[in-house]
Amino acid sequence: MTKVTDAQALTASTLDHYDTWEAPAVIDRWKEVRNQAVETLREANFPEARAEEYKFTNFSKALQKHFSVGPATTAGNVTLEDIAPFFIPELDADRIVLINGQYRSDLSVLTDIEGITIDRLAHAAEKQTEIFQEVFGQVAHAEVDAFTALNTVFATDWAFITVSRNADIERPIAI
């Protein structure tokens, strides 16, 4: 892992890590979106305070923590007891739990909701290929923002949530 202390070094370190990283085998659409995100990072760098959309955001304090680019930690060893303090006790809702971006069905609580499907991204890419091809990469625009690009480049798993047009969802879903 490389420690970095400024935005340009963070960009360089991220791209160096990407060049040696073995991305999971994925379908073509995922590769296409990932490659677009890499190009965004190569061209844009991470924003600094002088960038208009980040002019009120001071990254220097975050970079003083020596941000490291490296493999994501596994979400497998997190327990319900570990995350319970983050729940809102009064909230009567279904719950989708993501740990480091990974959907954890064993920690999620979902009543039988007709018209909604929640799956891991890799499974959805295989099982719901048509809708995946249509919508993946359409909401988070990695070509515009370096932080979105960073998440897109190194994503290995996300929650893929589809809701039917006529779904009647009566309870909130907390993510």
Residue corresponding to tokens 């954890």: 104
Short-list 175, 164, 160, CA closest to 27 = 160
pTM of the predicted model, to two decimals?
A: 0.64
Give residue 54's pLDDT band: very low, low, confident or very high (50, 70, 90): confident
The phi, psi pair for 114, rounded to 5°, reads -75, 130
Domain that includes residue 133, residue range: 2-174
pLDDT value of residue 41: 80
pLDDT value of residue 1: 47
Higher pLDDT, residue 160 or 49: 160
Calpha distance 116→170 (Å, rounded): 12
The DSSP output letter for 109 is B
Q: Is pLDDT above 90 for 80?
A: yes
The pLDDT of 61-79, averaged and rounded, is: 66
* Span 23-48, pLDDT tens digits: 666 667 777 888 888 888 888 766 66
Give residue 19's pLDDT band: very low, low, confident or very high (50, 70, 90): confident
The pair of three-digit structure tokens given for residue 3, joined into one six-digit string:
């420690």
Structural domains in the chain (count):
1
Is there a contact between 122 and 24 (Cβ–Cβ < 8 Å)? Answer: yes
Q: Is pLDDT above 50 for 9?
A: yes
Strand partners, 3: 68
Short-list 144, 117, 153, CA closest to 17 = 153
Calpha distance 33→17 (Å, rounded): 18
